[in-house]
Structures are given as structure tokens and as C-alpha cells.
A and B are shown apart, each in its own frame.
Chain A
Amino acid sequence: MKCTLELKGIFKNYGRLPVLGGIDLKLLESDAVAIVGPSGCGKTTLLRIIAGLEKPDSGVINRFYSRLGFVFQEDRLIPWYSVRKNLEIICDDERKIQRTLQQVGLSGFEHYKPGQLSGGMRQRLNLARALIIEPELLLLDEPFRSLDTPTKVKLINDLSILLENINISYVLVTHDMREALSLAKHVYVMRGRPAKFVHHIELKKKMDFFDPSFLQLEKTILSHMEDTEVFQ
């Protein structure tokens, strides 16, 4: 299977603060990867390095893709532009705009401005902007963080179906195990200062929120995140 992204020995410090301490990751075509870890452990930094927004202090990044989509933690929509214009500046193909709006459930809201949309709708638009370029690699940086639980569950379900259908590689960064287990087939647990991957779980299939084995897996991941056996 074709490789999309390869990271070898990525190190990163912010001044004297060590952040990443040797990250290795190989992403194959259509891989669904989640990176979980406590807040502030360096997950977003790793995603920014993959996106080329920051440079690592050392290490090798091999990129085998040409189009990258990024779903930011904050929506980063242009507030004075309408939904349509926010997509149009990325891709002006009318057919793709219509199709993507339909995919994310925003048809009929083309002329609304971001300020007139709910938090969930803004995140859908954030996602639409990433999908419209038909990316080979999609990076998702805690995209559901600011949403209430019902909106989050709905959006995760929709996103899971959508990503299954369009068949792209993606890396989701989150501190929420449920998000990770619902959307990924590989879950990497990141921990420490500097942070490293301390555990890797490969799932046979993506899970839904009400899967009976969900809780057990959640416990396992938590135990690795906190370096102690929890819930025993």
C-alpha cells in the first residue's frame, strides 16, 4: 500500500522547553490515525509540523501527498465572507462547492456569514473547506472541542460516515478517547515531557459511541496517558 506520510525521529523544543522527543509515524493510504494525549503534551505542535507551519529541530519528514486539508481547532473562517465565499477562495469550482456543502449538510446556507451560524455549523464549514480540495491527507486538530455533547456526537457520526466514503488518510488529534475510538483505526497515545508515543492500539473496525467494549478500551488508553493503572 502507498505511503502518505513518514515521520522519523521528530524532536522539537520551544526555547529550553522540550516538547517532542523523537516521534516516528508512518501513515499509509486511507489510514485513519488518532493521536491522544493530555492537554498541552504537544499534539498540536506535531500536527503543525506535519502541515509545515513549524519546523522540527531535528528529524525527517517525508511527504508523499500533494493536497493537504486542515480542520483547525478554532474554525478560522473569514468573518466578513459568506459560507460560499469562504469556500470559493480555496476552490472556485461551482460543482465542488455544491457537492461539499451537501456532504457537510450546509446546503441552503451559502449566503450566511460565519457569525450567523451555530458552533456546529461553523465546524462543518471548517471541515468543508478542508474537503473541497479533495485532500490526500486530512489533519484534524481537536475539531469538536468547543461543541456541546449532542452536536459533537452528531458531527462525529456524520464525519465518520463521510470519511469512510471518501477514503482518505487522516490524522486526528484529541484528548477525548471517544472521538479517537469513533474515528480512527490506529490510536497512538502520546505522553511525557518531551512527548513520545507510549502506546499504539490497532482497532479491527471503528467503534460507535455505544459499543460495549468502548469502556474497556477507554480505560486502557487512560492508563497509558496517566502512567498509572486506573479504575482498578
Chain B
Amino acid sequence: MKNSSRFEFSLFGVVLLFAFWFVVSKLVSSDLVFPGPEKVLSHSYRLLVEGKLLRPVGLTFLRAFFGMGLALVAGTILGFLMGLSDRIYLLLQPLNMAIRSVPIVSWLSTVILAWGIGWRGVVFIVFVSLLPIVTFNVCEGVRVVDKKLVEMAKVYSLPKWKIFRAIYMGSVWPFLLSSLKLSIGSMWKVAIVAEYLIGETGLGVQIMQAKFYVNTTEVFSYTLVAVVFGLVLEALFSSLWERGSFEVHS
């Protein structure tokens, strides 16, 4: 399909979504339960003009990004260790699986007792939510490294850092990018949930406050902003991916 046709179809999909939303809101006919898109859009615009939108979005993004960055660094190191050594794999795999299965709310008591309400808890929850994804992906990337390439490198007495950079990093790279793609999709949602529960500022807190005052239109407005921002982030990453911006230097 041509690029222009693809764009037209996507645009039509968005129009269809708003039309469906509009019809449902008319059927429900209660702004308290399900406000329509025209009300939500105009409320979002008002929030933007009043300066109540950009700051929470920025703060939530910073926390989510910081948590993801930490998870990428720690997950890459752990993934490499687990992929290279069977002993470390057997030692850390149960812990990795346990972290993956712990629900976000279960971290709350520990986080609140450790740091109280605030940004650190949010960053930590984003970090622990993404860490197993990155670790698992990097570990898999290391485990599928072509041993024949490593053997070739040994025949030519390549130094270890060259073997690491040329063979291991090249093999792990697609796995790391795939975990980055998954993380970008998740970090945003996890950060908002964490802010909702233990945050002081940010989009999650705004949603929580709007819900407290039974302002459903405002809840929908912040949710719409969160969805749009999340989609833009994913689209941006996908576009860079398709352009080959993340290819291993050849």
C-alpha cells in the first residue's frame, strides 16, 4: 500500500474512533459518566491555555524516562552477566521472574515507607517494571550469539573488547532495541499509575485529583493527553527504527 493511502486509512481510523466515542457519549448522555469528545477536547484546550497541562506531562515524562534509563543500564549489565554465565543465570533467573510477577501495588508499601510520597517512588516503580523486560531480552540476545563467530575471533586473536563490541553487541542490539520499544510503550502507563498511587505531581496526580472531585471530563482530558503523548513517543521511535537510525555501525 502506498504511504499516502496508509496515512489516509490511519486518519480514517482516528475519525472512526472519535465518531464511535461521540455516539456512545450521546447514548449514555451523562457527562459525569462518559463525556463526549467535543467536551473533552475543549476542556483539554482550556487546560493547555491555563498552563495545567505541559508541566504535569513534562514531569511524568522525566520520571518515566529516568526510570527507563536506569532499567536499560541495569538490565543490560544483568542480561549480559546472565547470558554469559550459566551459574549467574540460574542464580538470578528466579529473582528476575519474581520481580516480573510482582504487581505494582505490592511495591507501594515498601516504596512509601522508604521514600514517602514523591518522585523517587515513581521512578523506582518504572524501573522495577521495566528491568525484567530489558534483562530477559538482553540475556536472550547474549545466549543466541553465534559461537562460530566467537571462535573465528579467537583464531585471529582479537582482543576481548573487540569481540564484545563487534560480535556480542551486534547480536544483542536487536534484542536491546526490541526491549526499548516495549519499554517506551509501558513506561508511560506505569509512571501514570505510580503517580496516581504515590505521586506528588504529574499526570497521574492530576487524574487522581480530577477523579476525587468527580470531574470526569478532566479525567478524560488528562487520559487523552496521556494516550496521545504515548502514541507520539512510540511513533517517533518506530520512525527512527524504520529509517535505520539504530542500525549497528557498518
Contact = CB atoms under 8 A, between A and B. Distances in A.
Nearest to A129: B156
A96 interface: no
Nearest to B169: A80
Interface string B22-65: 00000000000000000000000000000000000000000000
Contacts of A81: 166, 170, 248, 250
Contacts of B228: none
A76 B151 CA distance: 9
B250 A72 contact: no
B250 A85 contact: yes
B152 A80 contact: no
B149 to A, nearest CB: 6
A76 B166 contact: no
**Interface size classification for chain B:** 10 to 19
A89 B149 contact: no
A156 B151 CA distance: 26
A133 B250 contact: no
Contacts of A90: 156, 158
A interface majority secondary structure: loop
B167 interface: yes
Contacts of A85: 250
Interface string A50-90: 01110000000000000010101010101011100100011
Contacts of A82: 250
A152 interface: no
A129 B155 CA distance: 11
Interface in B160-181: 162, 166-167, 170, 173
A68 to B, nearest CB: 7
B148 interface: yes
A63 to B, nearest CB: 13
Interface in B226-250: 247-248, 250
Contacts of A72: 148, 152
B211 interface: no
A76 B250 contact: no
B170 A76 contact: no
B154 interface: yes
Contact of A76 (B148, B162, B173, B247): B148
Contacts of B247: 80
Contact of B155 (A68, A89, A111, A113): A68
Which of A68, A85, A89 has the most CB atoms of chain B within a 10 A radius of its CB?
A89
A89 B162 contact: yes
A74 B155 contact: no
Nearest to B167: A78
Contact of B149 (A51, A53, A78): A78
Contacts of B167: 78
B156 A133 contact: yes
Closest 4 CB pairs of A and B: A76-B152, A82-B250, A80-B248, A80-B170
